[in-house]
Amino acid sequence: MPKVKGMNRGELTDEQWAVVAPLLPRARTGRPPHSHRQRLNGMLWILRTGAPWRDLPARYGKWNSVAKRFYRWQRTGVFERVAQALQRAGDAAGRLDWERHYVDASIVRAHQHAAGAKGGTLTQRGSGAAAVA
């Protein structure tokens, strides 16, 4: 990724932003939202570092505003639509090799806390009143 003056490592370049910007939602009513680019770079920072939202650097805006936008976009399917549009564009340009690029569930690791939970089936217990009767 080329370095742009004033840009931090891992942030969207001007070229990347030019591709992604038209795919993001526009405000229909009310105040115009703060910069989508700034907020999206904040989301990418969180994903890259794994830090909690409250540790988001101030240059990306208020952490709770970035988090709210992230969860709203997730809930309304923005990320899925953006990913699909980018995939279609890459495929149309011949940049995707479908023999090589795929995700197989057998290679996606589960979170460390996903393993080791107590298993078994749930059984219904009768009440104490039922045992007396």
DSSP 17: H
pLDDT in tens, the chain (133 residues): 444 455 678 899 999 999 999 999 987 766 666 789 999 999 999 999 999 999 999 999 999 999 999 999 999 999 999 999 999 999 899 888 877 756 666 666 666 777 666 665 666 666 555 555 5
Residue 21 lies in a domain: no
Predicted TM-score (pTM) of this structure: 0.67
Domain total of the chain: 1
Residue 43 lies in a domain: yes
Residue 60: the pLDDT is 95
Residue 5 lies in a domain: no
Residue 72 lies in a domain: yes
Q: What angle do CA 77, 68, 27 make, to 5 degrees?
A: 65
With a CB cutoff of 8 Å and minimum separation 6, the contacts of 42 are: 56, 57, 60, 61, 63, 66
Residue 58 lies in a domain: yes
**Range of the structural domain that residue 58 is part of:** 39-97
Burial 44-59 (b: 16+ CB within 10 A, else e): ebbeeeeeeeeebeee
Residue 91 lies in a domain: yes
CA distances 49 to 22, 57, 98, Å, are 26, 12, 30
